Structure 1
Amino acid sequence: MNPSLVTTPLGRLSGLCTGGIHRFLGVPYARPPVGPLRLRSPQPTLPWTGIRPAHDAGAASLQTLAGQQQWLNAPIEHLSEDCLFLNIWTPSLTGRHPVMVWIHGGQTRNGHGASPASDGQALAALGVVVVTINYRLGALGGLAHPGLEDPATGFCANWGLQDKLAALAWVAEHIGAFGGDPGRVTLAGQSSGAANAVMLAQNSLASGHFHALIAQSPPLFRPPMFAELADAAAYTEALARRLGVAVPALRQVAGSVLQTEEQALARTLTAEGRRPHTAPVRDGRLLRHWPFDAPAIGVPLLAGWTRHEADFWFHLQDGQGHSLAPLREPDDAAELAPRVQRLMAQHYAFTPAPDTAAVLDAYTASGGVPQRWRDLYTDLVFRAPILQLINRQAAHGQPAWAYEFAYPLPGDRPSTPHAADVPFVFGTHRHPHLAPKIGATGAADALSATVIRAWADFVHHGAPGPVNGTAWPRFTAAQPLAMVLEPAHPGPAALSRPAGLACWPAYTAPWTEAAPAGPDREPL
Structure 2
Amino acid sequence: MTSLSEVTTCEGVVRGTREGKFLRWRSIPYAAPPTGDLRFRAPAPVTPWTGVRDATEFGFAAIQNRKGSQIGARVYQPQSEDCLTINVTAPAKPSDQPRAVMVFIHGGGYLFGTSAVELYSGKSLVSRGDVIVVSFNYRLGLLGYVDFSQFSTPERPFDSNLGLRDQVAALEWVQRNIAAFGGDPGNVTIFGESAGAAAVTTLFATPAAHGLFHRGIAESSPADWATTKETADDFALRCVEAMGATADTAATVLGTADPGDMRRAAGKIVYRLMQDQPGRFAMIPVVDGEFLPKHPLEAYADGSANRVPLIIGTNRDEGTLFPKFADHLPTNPQRITRMLGRANIPSPQAITAAYPGYPAKNAAVKLGGDYIFWRPTIEVCGAHSAHAPTYNYRYDFAPRVLTRMGLGATHASELFAVFGFGDTRAGLALTALGGRKGLREVTQELQGHWLSFAKTGAPRESWPAYDTETRKTLVFDATTRVVSDLNKQRRLAWSGFRTAPGAGVDITEQVAG
Scaled by the length of structure 1, the TM-score of the pair is 0.84
- Deviating above 3 A after TM superposition, structure 1's stretches of 4 or more consecutive aligned residues are 69-75, 92-95, 147-155, 268-276, 327-331, 338-341, 429-440
Name the residue aligned to 1:453: 448
CA shift, 1:428, in A, is 2.6
Does structure 2 conserve the Cα–Cα contact (< 8 Å) formed by 1:73 and 1:111? no
Does structure 2 conserve the Cα–Cα contact (< 8 Å) formed by 1:59 and 1:78? yes
In structure 2, the residue corresponding to 1:375 is in which secondary structure?
helix
Count of residue correspondences:
479
Question: Equivalent residues in 2 for 1:385-404 (5 A)?
Answer: 385-396=376-387, 398-404=388-394
Query: Could you tell which deviates more after superposition, 228-237 or 423-432?
Result: 423-432
Find the aligned partners of 1:267 and 1:433 in 2 and give their Cα distance: 32
Identical aligned pairs, as a percentage? 29
Name the residue aligned to 1:235: 235
In structure 2, the residue corresponding to 1:294 is in which secondary structure?
helix
400, 414, 417: which is aligned to 2:410? 417
Does structure 2 conserve the Cα–Cα contact (< 8 Å) formed by 1:96 and 1:179? yes
181, 184, 190: which is aligned to 2:184? 181
In structure 2, the residue corresponding to 1:357 is in which secondary structure?
helix
Find the aligned partners of 1:354 and 1:421 in 2 and give their Cα distance: 36
Find the aligned partners of 2:240 and 2:169 in 1 and give their Cα distance: 28
Name the residue aligned to 1:248: 251
Question: Equivalent residues in 2 for 1:355-434 (5 A)?
Answer: 355-364=347-356, 369-396=360-387, 398-409=388-399, 410=401, 411-413=404-406, 415-432=408-425
Q: Could you say if the C-alpha distance between residues 154 and 247 of structure 1 is closer, same or farther in structure 2, counting changes exceeding 3 Å? A: closer
Find the aligned partners of 1:162 and 1:355 in 2 and give their Cα distance: 39
CA shift, 1:73, in A, is 10
Find the aligned partners of 1:177 and 1:265 in 2 and give their Cα distance: 45
Q: Could you say if the C-alpha distance between residues 276 and 217 of structure 1 is closer, same or farther in structure 2, counting changes exceeding 3 Å? A: closer
143, 147, 151: which is aligned to 1:144? 147
Find the aligned partners of 1:153 and 1:481 in 2 and give their Cα distance: 51
Q: Which amino acid aligns with 1:100?
A: M
CA shift, 1:506, in A, is 3.8
CA shift, 1:292, in A, is 2.5
Q: Which amino acid aligns with 2:203?
A: L
Q: Which amino acid aligns with 2:112?
A: N
CA deviation vs aligned residue, 1:188-225 (integer Å, no higher than 9, x gap): 11111111221121232311110101111100236xxx
Name the residue aligned to 2:163: 160
Name the residue aligned to 2:270: 266
Name the residue aligned to 1:298: 307
Find the aligned partners of 1:268 and 1:384 in 2 and give their Cα distance: 25
Name the residue aligned to 1:475: 466
**Runs (5+) with no aligned partner, structure 1:** 315-322, 509-524
**Runs (5+) with no aligned partner, structure 2:** 499-513
Does structure 2 conserve the Cα–Cα contact (< 8 Å) formed by 1:117 and 1:426? yes
117, 120, 124: which is aligned to 2:119? 117
Residues 1:208 and 2:211 are matched in the alignment:
yes
Does structure 1 conserve the Cα–Cα contact (< 8 Å) formed by 2:63 and 2:79? yes
Q: Could you say if the C-alpha distance between residues 259 and 329 of structure 1 is closer, same or farther in structure 2, counting changes exceeding 3 Å? A: closer
Does structure 2 conserve the Cα–Cα contact (< 8 Å) formed by 1:90 and 1:178? yes
CA deviation vs aligned residue, 1:325-356 (integer Å, no higher than 9, x gap): 5259877xxxx3x543323356xx4x7x2523
Find the aligned partners of 1:371 and 1:214 in 2 and give their Cα distance: 29
In structure 2, the residue corresponding to 1:205 is in which secondary structure?
helix
Q: Could you say if the C-alpha distance between residues 421 and 65 of structure 1 is closer, same or farther in structure 2, counting changes exceeding 3 Å? A: farther
The Cα RMSD (Å) is 2.9
Does structure 2 conserve the Cα–Cα contact (< 8 Å) formed by 1:72 and 1:419? no
Find the aligned partners of 1:153 and 1:459 in 2 and give their Cα distance: 42
Name the residue aligned to 2:87: 87
Name the residue aligned to 1:443: 438
Find the aligned partners of 2:448 and 2:156 in 1 and give their Cα distance: 41
Find the aligned partners of 1:478 and 1:215 in 2 and give their Cα distance: 22
Q: Which amino acid aligns with 1:503?
A: A
Does structure 2 conserve the Cα–Cα contact (< 8 Å) formed by 1:74 and 1:115? no
Q: Which amino acid aligns with 1:378?
A: G
